[in-house]
Protein backbone atom coordinates (compact mmCIF):
# COMPACT_ATOMS: atom_id res chain seq x y z
CA UNK A 1 0.00 0.00 0.00
CA UNK A 2 1.31 3.44 -0.97
CA UNK A 3 1.27 5.99 1.86
CA UNK A 4 -0.76 9.16 1.37
CA UNK A 5 1.52 12.15 0.88
CA UNK A 6 0.63 15.38 2.73
CA UNK A 7 -0.09 18.27 0.38
CA UNK A 8 2.73 20.41 1.78
CA UNK A 9 5.22 17.65 0.93
CA UNK A 10 3.76 17.24 -2.57
CA UNK A 11 3.92 20.98 -3.19
CA UNK A 12 7.51 21.23 -1.92
CA UNK A 13 8.64 18.68 -4.52
CA UNK A 14 7.72 21.08 -7.35
CA UNK A 15 8.38 24.43 -5.64
CA UNK A 16 11.46 26.34 -6.92
CA UNK A 17 11.64 28.18 -3.58
CA UNK A 18 11.95 24.87 -1.73
CA UNK A 19 15.04 23.96 -3.76
CA UNK A 20 16.51 27.41 -3.13
CA UNK A 21 15.91 26.97 0.60
CA UNK A 22 17.70 23.61 0.62
CA UNK A 23 16.49 22.46 4.03
CA UNK A 24 12.85 22.46 2.96
CA UNK A 25 13.40 20.19 -0.04
CA UNK A 26 15.76 17.94 1.96
CA UNK A 27 13.09 17.53 4.65
CA UNK A 28 10.38 16.77 2.10
CA UNK A 29 12.48 14.18 0.29
CA UNK A 30 13.60 12.64 3.60
CA UNK A 31 9.93 12.23 4.56
CA UNK A 32 9.27 10.45 1.27
CA UNK A 33 12.20 8.06 1.67
CA UNK A 34 11.02 7.18 5.17
CA UNK A 35 7.27 6.95 4.56
CA UNK A 36 6.62 6.65 0.82
CA UNK A 37 9.82 5.92 -1.15
CA UNK A 38 7.69 5.42 -4.25
CA UNK A 39 5.06 8.10 -3.72
CA UNK A 40 2.01 9.20 -5.68
CA UNK A 41 1.87 12.98 -5.31
CA UNK A 42 -0.80 15.47 -6.36
CA UNK A 43 0.78 18.94 -6.16
CA UNK A 44 -1.27 22.04 -6.88
CA UNK A 45 -1.32 23.00 -10.58
CA UNK A 46 0.48 19.84 -11.73
CA UNK A 47 -0.65 16.56 -13.18
CA UNK A 48 -0.19 13.86 -10.47
CA UNK A 49 2.95 11.75 -10.71
CA UNK A 50 5.12 9.22 -8.91
CA UNK A 51 8.22 10.40 -7.07
CA UNK A 52 11.00 7.82 -7.22
CA UNK A 53 12.95 8.73 -4.09
CA UNK A 54 15.37 5.86 -3.44
CA UNK A 55 18.77 5.40 -5.06
CA UNK A 56 18.17 1.80 -6.13
CA UNK A 57 14.70 2.49 -7.53
CA UNK A 58 16.02 5.41 -9.60
CA UNK A 59 18.65 3.09 -11.06
CA UNK A 60 15.98 0.49 -11.86
CA UNK A 61 13.92 3.00 -13.81
CA UNK A 62 16.99 4.42 -15.57
CA UNK A 63 18.14 1.03 -16.83
CA UNK A 64 14.66 -0.05 -17.97
CA UNK A 65 14.47 2.22 -21.00
CA UNK A 66 12.02 0.06 -22.94
CA UNK A 67 9.36 0.59 -20.26
CA UNK A 68 10.13 4.08 -18.98
CA UNK A 69 10.36 6.64 -21.76
CA UNK A 70 11.76 10.14 -21.97
CA UNK A 71 9.99 11.38 -25.06
CA UNK A 72 6.34 10.39 -24.74
CA UNK A 73 5.49 13.41 -22.60
CA UNK A 74 7.23 16.23 -20.71
CA UNK A 75 10.78 15.26 -19.72
CA UNK A 76 10.97 17.86 -16.94
CA UNK A 77 8.46 19.19 -14.41
CA UNK A 78 5.82 21.12 -16.31
CA UNK A 79 2.64 22.54 -14.80
CA UNK A 80 -0.72 21.87 -16.42
CA UNK A 81 -0.96 25.45 -17.69
CA UNK A 82 2.60 25.42 -19.03
CA UNK A 83 2.01 22.08 -20.70
CA UNK A 84 -1.14 23.32 -22.41
CA UNK A 85 0.74 26.42 -23.54
CA UNK A 86 3.65 24.39 -24.94
CA UNK A 87 1.33 22.05 -26.83
CA UNK A 88 -0.44 25.06 -28.32
CA UNK A 89 2.89 26.51 -29.49
CA UNK A 90 4.15 23.20 -30.94
CA UNK A 91 0.90 21.95 -32.42
CA UNK A 92 0.56 19.14 -29.90
CA UNK A 93 4.12 18.11 -29.03
CA UNK A 94 5.20 18.30 -25.38
CA UNK A 95 8.68 19.48 -26.44
CA UNK A 96 9.76 22.99 -27.40
CA UNK A 97 13.14 21.44 -28.16
CA UNK A 98 14.00 17.87 -29.07
CA UNK A 99 17.37 17.01 -27.59
CA UNK A 100 19.01 13.85 -26.25
CA UNK A 101 16.98 14.00 -23.03
CA UNK A 102 13.76 13.79 -25.08
CA UNK A 103 14.75 10.77 -27.18
CA UNK A 104 14.38 7.05 -26.60
CA UNK A 105 15.78 3.78 -27.90
CA UNK A 106 17.69 3.63 -31.16
CA UNK A 107 16.93 7.26 -31.96
CA UNK A 108 18.61 8.33 -28.71
CA UNK A 109 21.59 6.06 -29.38
CA UNK A 110 22.06 7.39 -32.93
CA UNK A 111 21.94 11.02 -31.81
CA UNK A 112 24.21 10.37 -28.85
CA UNK A 113 26.96 8.77 -30.90
CA UNK A 114 27.19 11.84 -33.16
CA UNK A 115 29.18 13.72 -30.53
CA UNK A 116 30.26 10.94 -28.16
CA UNK A 117 33.84 10.75 -29.52
CA UNK A 118 34.37 14.40 -28.59
CA UNK A 119 33.76 13.60 -24.92
CA UNK A 120 35.74 10.38 -24.59
CA UNK A 121 38.71 10.36 -22.17
CA UNK A 122 41.33 10.32 -24.93
CA UNK A 123 39.95 13.53 -26.43
CA UNK A 124 39.71 15.10 -22.98
CA UNK A 125 43.42 14.45 -22.48
CA UNK A 126 44.14 16.46 -25.62
CA UNK A 127 42.14 19.35 -24.18
CA UNK A 128 43.79 19.34 -20.77
CA UNK A 129 46.47 21.94 -21.50
CA UNK A 130 43.96 24.41 -22.89
CA UNK A 131 41.53 23.84 -20.01
CA UNK A 132 44.35 24.45 -17.54
CA UNK A 133 45.18 27.71 -19.30
CA UNK A 134 41.55 28.82 -18.99
CA UNK A 135 41.45 27.75 -15.32
CA UNK A 136 44.52 29.84 -14.55
CA UNK A 137 42.93 32.83 -16.26
CA UNK A 138 39.90 32.51 -14.01
CA UNK A 139 42.03 32.24 -10.89
CA UNK A 140 43.71 35.46 -12.05
CA UNK A 141 40.22 36.86 -12.46
CA UNK A 142 39.78 36.32 -8.73
CA UNK A 143 43.02 38.17 -8.06
CA UNK A 144 41.70 41.16 -10.00
CA UNK A 145 38.77 41.48 -7.60
CA UNK A 146 41.17 42.51 -4.86
CA UNK A 147 40.38 39.98 -2.16
CA UNK A 148 36.56 40.11 -2.35
CA UNK A 149 34.26 38.58 -4.95
CA UNK A 150 31.02 36.71 -5.46
CA UNK A 151 32.54 33.38 -6.38
CA UNK A 152 29.36 32.06 -8.02
CA UNK A 153 28.68 35.14 -10.16
CA UNK A 154 32.20 36.36 -10.83
CA UNK A 155 34.13 33.13 -11.34
CA UNK A 156 32.31 29.78 -11.26
CA UNK A 157 29.62 30.62 -13.81
CA UNK A 158 32.14 31.86 -16.41
CA UNK A 159 34.81 29.15 -16.31
CA UNK A 160 32.96 26.09 -17.73
CA UNK A 161 31.01 28.34 -20.09
CA UNK A 162 34.22 29.57 -21.72
CA UNK A 163 35.37 25.98 -22.23
CA UNK A 164 32.16 24.69 -23.82
CA UNK A 165 31.81 27.76 -26.05
CA UNK A 166 35.31 27.17 -27.36
CA UNK A 167 34.54 23.49 -28.02
CA UNK A 168 31.36 24.36 -29.88
CA UNK A 169 32.97 27.22 -31.75
CA UNK A 170 31.00 30.13 -30.34
CA UNK A 171 32.93 33.43 -30.25
CA UNK A 172 34.06 34.49 -26.77
CA UNK A 173 32.45 37.88 -27.39
CA UNK A 174 29.04 36.16 -27.39
CA UNK A 175 29.51 34.66 -23.91
CA UNK A 176 27.35 37.32 -22.13
CA UNK A 177 24.48 36.66 -24.54
CA UNK A 178 24.72 32.89 -24.14
CA UNK A 179 24.96 33.15 -20.34
CA UNK A 180 21.85 35.32 -20.23
CA UNK A 181 19.91 32.79 -22.30
CA UNK A 182 21.09 29.86 -20.15
CA UNK A 183 20.10 31.67 -16.96
CA UNK A 184 16.72 32.58 -18.43
CA UNK A 185 16.14 28.97 -19.41
CA UNK A 186 17.11 27.37 -16.10
CA UNK A 187 16.24 30.33 -13.83
CA UNK A 188 12.85 31.12 -15.31
CA UNK A 189 11.20 31.04 -11.87
CA UNK A 190 13.82 33.29 -10.28
CA UNK A 191 12.96 37.00 -10.39
CA UNK A 192 16.61 37.94 -10.91
CA UNK A 193 17.05 35.66 -13.92
CA UNK A 194 13.73 35.28 -15.69
CA UNK A 195 13.24 36.94 -19.05
CA UNK A 196 11.80 40.44 -19.00
CA UNK A 197 8.51 39.40 -20.58
CA UNK A 198 8.06 36.86 -17.77
CA UNK A 199 8.32 39.43 -14.99
CA UNK A 200 4.55 39.66 -14.64
CA UNK A 201 4.69 36.32 -12.85
CA UNK A 202 1.67 34.71 -14.52
CA UNK A 203 1.68 31.29 -16.19
CA UNK A 204 1.13 32.96 -19.56
CA UNK A 205 4.09 35.28 -19.03
CA UNK A 206 6.28 32.35 -17.97
CA UNK A 207 5.42 30.39 -21.14
CA UNK A 208 5.99 33.49 -23.28
CA UNK A 209 9.39 33.99 -21.63
CA UNK A 210 10.36 30.36 -22.18
CA UNK A 211 9.28 30.47 -25.81
CA UNK A 212 11.16 33.74 -26.43
CA UNK A 213 14.36 32.39 -24.87
CA UNK A 214 14.24 29.17 -26.91
CA UNK A 215 13.49 31.17 -30.08
CA UNK A 216 16.47 33.47 -29.47
CA UNK A 217 18.72 30.48 -28.85
CA UNK A 218 17.54 28.85 -32.09
CA UNK A 219 17.95 31.99 -34.16
CA UNK A 220 21.53 32.28 -32.94
CA UNK A 221 22.33 28.69 -33.84
CA UNK A 222 20.64 28.90 -37.26
CA UNK A 223 23.11 31.65 -38.11
CA UNK A 224 26.06 29.73 -36.63
CA UNK A 225 25.20 26.51 -38.49
CA UNK A 226 24.84 28.35 -41.80
CA UNK A 227 28.30 29.88 -41.28
CA UNK A 228 29.82 26.46 -40.52
CA UNK A 229 28.29 24.83 -43.61
CA UNK A 230 30.02 27.46 -45.70
CA UNK A 231 33.31 27.34 -43.81
CA UNK A 232 33.66 24.25 -41.57
CA UNK A 233 36.11 24.22 -38.67
CA UNK A 234 37.31 21.64 -36.18
CA UNK A 235 34.50 22.32 -33.71
CA UNK A 236 31.20 20.86 -32.57
CA UNK A 237 29.24 23.49 -34.48
CA UNK A 238 30.67 22.22 -37.76
CA UNK A 239 29.94 18.62 -36.77
CA UNK A 240 26.31 19.38 -35.92
CA UNK A 241 25.74 21.64 -38.94
CA UNK A 242 26.76 18.83 -41.29
CA UNK A 243 25.63 15.78 -39.26
CA UNK A 244 23.60 12.95 -40.73
CA UNK A 245 22.02 9.76 -39.42
CA UNK A 246 21.44 6.85 -41.81
CA UNK A 247 22.53 9.14 -44.65
CA UNK A 248 19.84 11.67 -43.80
CA UNK A 249 20.76 15.19 -42.59
CA UNK A 250 19.98 15.85 -38.94
CA UNK A 251 16.55 17.49 -38.71
CA UNK A 252 16.50 21.24 -38.11
CA UNK A 253 14.74 20.99 -34.73
CA UNK A 254 17.03 18.19 -33.58
CA UNK A 255 20.15 20.05 -34.74
CA UNK A 256 19.19 23.30 -33.01
CA UNK A 257 18.18 21.40 -29.88
CA UNK A 258 21.56 19.65 -29.85
CA UNK A 259 23.30 23.02 -29.91
CA UNK A 260 21.17 24.21 -26.99
CA UNK A 261 21.74 21.20 -24.77
CA UNK A 262 25.48 21.19 -25.50
CA UNK A 263 25.75 24.89 -24.70
CA UNK A 264 23.76 24.60 -21.48
CA UNK A 265 25.41 21.44 -20.18
CA UNK A 266 28.32 23.20 -18.52
CA UNK A 267 25.99 25.20 -16.29
CA UNK A 268 25.66 22.25 -13.92
CA UNK A 269 29.46 22.23 -13.57
CA UNK A 270 29.35 25.91 -12.58
CA UNK A 271 26.80 25.10 -9.87
CA UNK A 272 28.93 22.21 -8.62
CA UNK A 273 32.09 24.32 -8.39
CA UNK A 274 30.26 27.12 -6.56
CA UNK A 275 28.42 24.64 -4.34
CA UNK A 276 31.66 22.85 -3.60
CA UNK A 277 33.25 26.03 -2.29
CA UNK A 278 30.10 26.76 -0.26
CA UNK A 279 30.33 23.32 1.37
CA UNK A 280 34.05 23.72 2.06
CA UNK A 281 33.51 27.12 3.66
CA UNK A 282 30.93 25.49 5.93
CA UNK A 283 33.43 22.70 6.73
CA UNK A 284 36.76 24.55 7.20
CA UNK A 285 38.51 21.43 8.51
CA UNK A 286 37.98 19.80 5.13
CA UNK A 287 39.21 22.90 3.32
CA UNK A 288 42.35 22.67 5.45
CA UNK A 289 42.76 19.05 4.38
CA UNK A 290 42.69 20.11 0.75
CA UNK A 291 45.10 22.99 1.28
CA UNK A 292 47.56 20.72 3.09
CA UNK A 293 47.13 18.00 0.44
CA UNK A 294 45.94 15.43 2.96
CA UNK A 295 42.70 14.83 1.06
CA UNK A 296 42.48 13.96 -2.66
CA UNK A 297 40.86 16.44 -5.03
CA UNK A 298 39.20 13.64 -7.01
CA UNK A 299 37.14 12.35 -4.09
CA UNK A 300 36.30 15.93 -3.08
CA UNK A 301 34.87 16.51 -6.56
CA UNK A 302 32.70 13.38 -6.36
CA UNK A 303 31.40 14.45 -2.96
CA UNK A 304 30.58 17.97 -4.13
CA UNK A 305 28.67 16.49 -7.06
CA UNK A 306 26.66 14.31 -4.66
CA UNK A 307 26.20 17.20 -2.24
CA UNK A 308 25.05 19.78 -4.80
CA UNK A 309 23.32 17.47 -7.33
CA UNK A 310 22.70 20.35 -9.77
CA UNK A 311 20.29 18.37 -11.97
CA UNK A 312 17.37 17.89 -9.61
CA UNK A 313 15.20 15.58 -11.67
CA UNK A 314 14.16 14.11 -14.96
CA UNK A 315 10.71 12.79 -15.72
CA UNK A 316 9.79 9.48 -17.32
CA UNK A 317 6.49 8.02 -18.48
CA UNK A 318 5.47 4.37 -18.34
CA UNK A 319 5.07 2.90 -21.84
CA UNK A 320 3.48 -0.21 -20.30
CA UNK A 321 2.21 -1.43 -16.96
CA UNK A 322 5.16 -2.03 -14.64
CA UNK A 323 6.15 -2.63 -11.05
CA UNK A 324 8.83 -0.89 -8.98
CA UNK A 325 9.63 -1.99 -5.43
CA UNK A 326 6.34 -3.86 -5.28
CA UNK A 327 4.28 -0.84 -6.40
CA UNK A 328 2.12 -1.10 -9.52
CA UNK A 329 2.78 1.59 -12.15
CA UNK A 330 0.13 1.99 -14.84
CA UNK A 331 0.82 2.62 -18.50
CA UNK A 332 0.86 6.37 -19.07
CA UNK A 333 1.84 7.26 -15.50
CA UNK A 334 4.35 10.07 -15.08
CA UNK A 335 7.40 9.54 -12.83
CA UNK A 336 9.94 11.93 -11.32
CA UNK A 337 13.47 10.63 -10.76
CA UNK A 338 14.58 12.71 -7.78
CA UNK A 339 18.37 12.77 -7.89
CA UNK A 340 18.86 14.82 -4.69
CA UNK A 341 16.78 12.23 -2.87
CA UNK A 342 18.77 9.33 -4.30
CA UNK A 343 21.98 11.10 -3.29
CA UNK A 344 20.80 11.38 0.33
CA UNK A 345 19.56 7.78 0.58
CA UNK A 346 21.02 6.14 3.67
CA UNK A 347 20.65 2.74 2.01
CA UNK A 348 23.25 3.89 -0.53
CA UNK A 349 25.44 6.27 1.51
CA UNK A 350 26.76 6.17 5.04
CA UNK A 351 25.83 9.38 6.89
CA UNK A 352 24.33 10.92 3.72
CA UNK A 353 23.69 14.32 5.35
CA UNK A 354 27.38 14.68 6.20
CA UNK A 355 29.72 16.37 3.72
CA UNK A 356 32.78 14.12 3.55
CA UNK A 357 35.41 14.79 0.89
CA UNK A 358 37.07 11.40 1.52
CA UNK A 359 33.84 9.44 1.00
CA UNK A 360 34.49 6.12 -0.72
CA UNK A 361 32.74 4.54 -2.45
CA UNK A 362 30.59 7.37 -3.76
CA UNK A 363 28.09 6.02 -6.28
CA UNK A 364 26.18 9.27 -6.64
CA UNK A 365 23.56 9.92 -9.31
CA UNK A 366 24.58 13.48 -10.17
CA UNK A 367 25.32 12.43 -13.77
CA UNK A 368 22.27 10.19 -14.01
CA UNK A 369 22.53 6.50 -14.75
CA UNK A 370 22.09 4.02 -17.58
CA UNK A 371 21.57 4.90 -21.23
CA UNK A 372 21.06 8.60 -20.44
CA UNK A 373 24.24 8.90 -18.35
CA UNK A 374 25.56 12.44 -18.90
CA UNK A 375 27.49 12.60 -22.16
CA UNK A 376 29.78 15.37 -20.86
CA UNK A 377 30.68 13.75 -17.52
CA UNK A 378 34.36 13.29 -18.46
CA UNK A 379 34.64 16.94 -19.46
CA UNK A 380 32.88 18.07 -16.28
CA UNK A 381 35.18 16.06 -14.03
CA UNK A 382 38.26 17.29 -15.89
CA UNK A 383 37.14 20.93 -15.65
CA UNK A 384 36.54 20.63 -11.92
CA UNK A 385 39.79 18.82 -11.19
CA UNK A 386 41.91 21.31 -13.07
CA UNK A 387 40.14 24.34 -11.61
CA UNK A 388 40.57 23.12 -8.04
CA UNK A 389 44.20 22.23 -8.66
CA UNK A 390 44.90 25.74 -9.91
CA UNK A 391 42.89 27.51 -7.22
CA UNK A 392 44.29 25.49 -4.30
CA UNK A 393 47.81 26.07 -5.58
CA UNK A 394 47.29 29.82 -5.11
CA UNK A 395 44.84 29.99 -2.24
CA UNK A 396 46.10 31.07 1.19
CA UNK A 397 42.88 31.95 3.02
CA UNK A 398 39.19 32.15 2.18
CA UNK A 399 36.07 32.82 4.26
CA UNK A 400 32.52 34.06 4.01
CA UNK A 401 31.96 37.71 3.14
CA UNK A 402 28.16 37.70 3.20
CA UNK A 403 25.15 35.41 3.02
CA UNK A 404 25.04 32.87 0.17
CA UNK A 405 21.89 32.07 -1.79
CA UNK A 406 20.58 29.56 -4.32
CA UNK A 407 18.71 30.00 -7.59
CA UNK A 408 14.95 29.53 -7.31
CA UNK A 409 14.45 26.64 -9.72
CA UNK A 410 13.35 23.01 -9.70
CA UNK A 411 15.32 21.52 -12.62
CA UNK A 412 18.98 22.59 -12.99
CA UNK A 413 20.01 24.83 -10.12
CA UNK A 414 22.52 25.58 -7.41
CA UNK A 415 24.27 28.58 -5.87
CA UNK A 416 23.37 32.03 -7.17
CA UNK A 417 25.63 33.96 -4.79
CA UNK A 418 28.72 32.84 -2.85
CA UNK A 419 30.30 36.02 -1.44
CA UNK A 420 33.84 35.47 -0.16
CA UNK A 421 36.97 37.30 0.95
CA UNK A 422 40.30 35.65 0.32
CA UNK A 423 44.05 35.95 -0.07
CA UNK A 424 45.99 34.33 -2.88
CA UNK A 425 49.72 33.79 -3.25
Sign of CA dihedral 167, 169, 171, 174: negative
| Closest among 119, 92, 365 to 266, alpha carbons compared | 119
pLDDT tens for the chain, 425 residues long, are 677 999 999 999 999 999 999 999 999 999 999 999 999 999 999 999 999 999 999 999 999 999 999 999 999 999 999 999 999 999 999 999 999 999 999 999 999 999 999 999 998 999 999 999 999 999 999 999 999 999 999 999 999 999 999 999 999 999 999 999 999 999 999 999 998 865 655 666 688 899 999 999 999 999 999 999 999 999 999 999 999 999 999 999 999 999 999 999 899 999 999 999 999 999 999 999 999 988 899 999 999 999 999 999 999 999 999 999 999 999 999 999 999 999 999 999 999 999 999 999 999 999 999 999 999 999 999 999 999 999 999 999 999 999 999 999 999 999 999 999 999 98
pLDDT in tens, 381-398: 999 999 999 999 999 999
On whether the CB atoms of residues 239 and 115 are closer than 8 A, the answer is yes
Question: Rounded distance, CA 135 to CA 258, Å?
Answer: 26
Q: The pTM is what?
A: 0.97
Calculate the dihedral angle through the C-alpha atoms of 290, 296, 300, 301, rounding to the nearest 10 degrees.
120
| Closest among 244, 237, 233, 239 to 223, alpha carbons compared | 237
Question: Rounded distance, CA 319 to CA 421, Å?
Answer: 52
Cβ–Cβ contacts within 10 Å for residue 158, how many? 18
Architecture of domain 7-424: Orthogonal Bundle (1.10)
What is the reported pLDDT for 200?
Answer: 55
Amino acid sequence: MVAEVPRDIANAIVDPKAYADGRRIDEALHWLRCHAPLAWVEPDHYRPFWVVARHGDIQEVERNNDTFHNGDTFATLTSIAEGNGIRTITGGSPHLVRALVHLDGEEHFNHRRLTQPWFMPQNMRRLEARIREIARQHVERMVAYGGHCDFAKDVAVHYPLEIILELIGIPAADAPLILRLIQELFGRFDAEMMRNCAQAGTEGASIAGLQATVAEFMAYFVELSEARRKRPRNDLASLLATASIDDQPLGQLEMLSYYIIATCAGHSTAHTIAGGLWALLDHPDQMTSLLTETAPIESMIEETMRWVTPVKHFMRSAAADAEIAGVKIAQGDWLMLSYPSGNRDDDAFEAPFSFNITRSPNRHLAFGYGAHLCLGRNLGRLEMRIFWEELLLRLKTIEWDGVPSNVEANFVCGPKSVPVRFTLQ
